[in-house]
Structure 1
Amino acid sequence: MLQTFNLTIFKISKRWFQHGIKFYKLSSLTQTSNIKTDNLIFERFIKTRKVIAWNEEEIKRLHDAVAKHGPSWKTIWEKYFKPHRTPRLLNQKWRVLNMIKQRPSYYNPWTPEEDEILKSGVAKYGVGKWIEISKLFKQRDSLQIRSRWKVISSKTRGKWTPEEDSRLLELIKIHGNKWTMIGKTFNRSPDDVYLHYFYLNRVKWTKEEDEKLHDLIKKYGEDWNIIKKDFPKRSFYDIKLRYIKYPRTNPNINVGKWKSEEITAFYKAFVEFGKKWKYVADSIGTRTPNQCSQYYYRKHCSKKKIDIK
């Protein structure tokens, strides 16, 4: 099929060429002519930007550079990160690191007082006004508040009965994964319904699968898109949950008896962060937040109190 195109001269900037856009010139661009649709006027090739994840060495280098030079991003870029990181990316990463550090209550459990404040906020502003309600808290954001409301707004909580299990499986067959609607039937939160359905249909991990996951993480890191290809019958959630809950699948994590250097690092981090196990685990480097929590309570229960050296 023939189409008529009124073509004009394109002014192509240097910046376009730097981003990989290529135009192929055709003769008589200023003239009106009939061209077949299968003949391309120009082809556009955009180079995909390769995202390079930050590693621990780079983060430490960034901390040291800011401590020495302050937020002089151009100077830090020229001396420590050129040409792989731009000054703008350095600034963004530093802001993210500070934001994470300024949220000490993120991994802490909610207190009864905070629950009462949340209930009062919902009564005042209504469900869904999480940003307005978050202003009532000093160290809770809108995402935390929304997640917490899903928990405390459910009247039915606790262990599922066998009758509820059977009813849940029947409703899933009829309605599919409509978790909100099914949750109202049980007067439970949608998250509670989904997680329990996942629990009922879980497939036990084998020793061979654990070893395969360990080897893949050692080879590819946390690139779940590649790892998922070797586990076609398991979901991303299932794989990540196994990685988090079962330390033996992580080649960078130690299991068994704690080493003396790990204990020293634990005490040092505990003084700084307290029971914020995510930060404590990051400081140690070879233990998970769950392992740190278990170590603390094991020592605390046996000695009634923990002595910080």
Structure 2
Amino acid sequence: MLSTLSGAIKSTGRRFQLVQFTPSSTTWGIGCRGSLPSFFRPQSMAARTHFLYHDVTTSASSTANTTSPAFMNGINSTKDLEHKAFGMETTATGTTTSKTTNRNSIEFAPKVTGRHWTLEEFSKLSQLVAEGKSVTEIHAHFPFRSQTAIRKYRGQIRAANMDVPERQPWSTEEDEKLRTFIQQGTKFREIRPEFPDRSTRAVELQWRRFGGKDGRLKPRAEGRKIHPWTEEEKKRLYNAVEKGMTIFEIHRQFPGRTPSTIRRHITLNRYVQDGVYQQHLSRELDDIAHAEKETKNRNTKPKLHIRRNRPWTPEEDGRLRDLVFRNSDDLPGLWNMMDDAYAKGGATIGDLPVYRTGKSSRVRWSQLNNAGYRKGPWDTEEIMKLKQSIQEQIGDGFQVMVDVYNGADTVAVEIAGQDTRPCLKANGPELRNLNWHKVSQQVGTRDIAVCRQYLMNRLHNGKHGAWSLDEIQRLEDGVEKFGTSWQKVAAYVGTRPHKRVSDFYWKRVKKDMGAMRK
């Protein structure tokens, strides 16, 4: 509870306004119209109080010292307090002022908000701003003005008067002087007067930055030195851009320059004249600059490729279809080539430029070909259509079967469905020259990728069904030797295609991990 309460109450008609009150322990400032705050209610009014009140209606002013609790007797509401206050001239102390007191001579407590700035206040504020005072220091001269209002008019004054000193970076001499004080253990209150041209807040921030709060001087940070571009560097950069080098290759030639610096120099000097390549290079450099900023915030490895959710245009869809039709025999290889072309800044595959990553193109191609296609197990009719379509393209010299043994004489028992004709080599010209778009059209219910996957993973001369212990052992040895390079692991196993090898391995790993958890 409050031990001592002093305040100023102004009456307006029959209502009171609490303008300011100050408890003994801390300073309060409150504006209240209408009913008084809760601490003026009977349960909290047992404290000793001192009121300065003004009778506006009768132009009278009276003062009473209520050191005795008797003053509070009978006050149960705001109206009781109002009546008690107006009756004090006869009931409280007997002290009465003249009822002819001029209304304008009554001095009310100043209001905290809602009052326009006077010319005197603006003059004083302009003087303080010209002296370079901070908002906090100015606020000490205007206790009844908020810092927001002071900051607003301070900014207007600074904008209108160019002679007002602006904040300047700390000089080397100032830094050395402050470091010396911190190293000597000088207190902040003794350091502050040594920098009269700096605000208290500015000195405190620099003092904290140098380790003054912790009591020990922080070591100097090695700042990055800025060197202007030499003529030799400009010539090398011009030649690199003219050769069509990627930004990554250019950056390797300038280890002392950041990608952002290279970007700015290329843009300002207009070294690239090709609008398409310039647009792509600028976008790529923007990605790098954004990645550097994110990396600085997260302290992680830079991601030099930031995927952009740009919608695919009909022109890009057409180029993608042409690329897929030309390279339908090796779609995974096509996606890898597109990654390489994208990294080179719009290089071409054939005569078609590439401005999308392989992953983005693969996802887009899947979206373009999902409509109207089936999913799930193949039926007999679909398998027959697939074999017939492939057989028409490879001729009668081969059977529609992929050789997973790579010609090795390891099959002791002929597997059902094979004939005496040779199988297709996984990397042979027959498979590379297959028109998978035509195959997909003839099957009618499966897209290009699914048709190729079915041939490679199902129509092969390797073993089907359960794995033998010998195969499992070779799989484990192959993974230990080659890691997750499944093409090499499958060649080491020798009896299964690489897709079946990877599927079996991960299924077995998950099973073993589940058993370990139990």
Question: Which TM-score applies when normalising by structure 2?
Answer: 0.23
Q: Could you say which structure has the greater relative contact order, defined with CA pairs below 8 angstroms and 6 or more residues apart? A: 1
More helix by share: 1
Larger Rg: 2
Question: Which TM-score applies when normalising by structure 1?
Answer: 0.35
More strand by share: 2
